[in-house]
Every structure is written in structure tokens, then in C-alpha cells.
Amino acid sequence: MDYLVIRRFADKNAEGRIYEVGELYEGSKAAKRISELTNPEKNKYGRVYLQKKPVEKTEEPKE
């Protein structure tokens, strides 16, 4: 599952790497870390930083 950054943050688990809004999150995909970044009740700032990347629909080729 891919996640998009929806709020700028420095990733404490990746030596402070800065993620900008709109980037794909390339850090740890461990359930605990994803939960910290997607659930405001799981991090000390009370904010959401990631959301699941929507699945892009592809059009069927026209014949």
C-alpha cells in the first residue's frame, strides 16, 4: 500500500528526512509507524501526516 504525504514533516525514523506535501512516503511501512502518521491519537502532535494513495483507474484501450 502506498501513502501520500498530506502534511509536511520530518521523519524521526529516517534521520530527519523532510517529506513535503504530495510526495509518496518512502519510510518504514511497519504497521506501528503507519498508524503513528495516519492517526492523530497515535502521535504527540495530534495531526495526520499520511493518507492512502487512491487507486488510479486506467481506461481500457479502445479498439
Per domain, the residue ranges of the chain are 3-52
DSSP 15: T
Please tell me the distance from the alpha carbon of residue 55 to that of residue 63, in angstroms, as a whole number.
25
Displacement of CA 35 from its chain's centroid (Å):
10
Tell me if 43 sits within 8 A of 10, measured CB to CB: no
pTM over 0.85: no
Beta bridge partners of 52: 3
pLDDT tens digits, residue range 18-58? 999 999 999 999 999 999 999 999 999 999 999 999 887 77
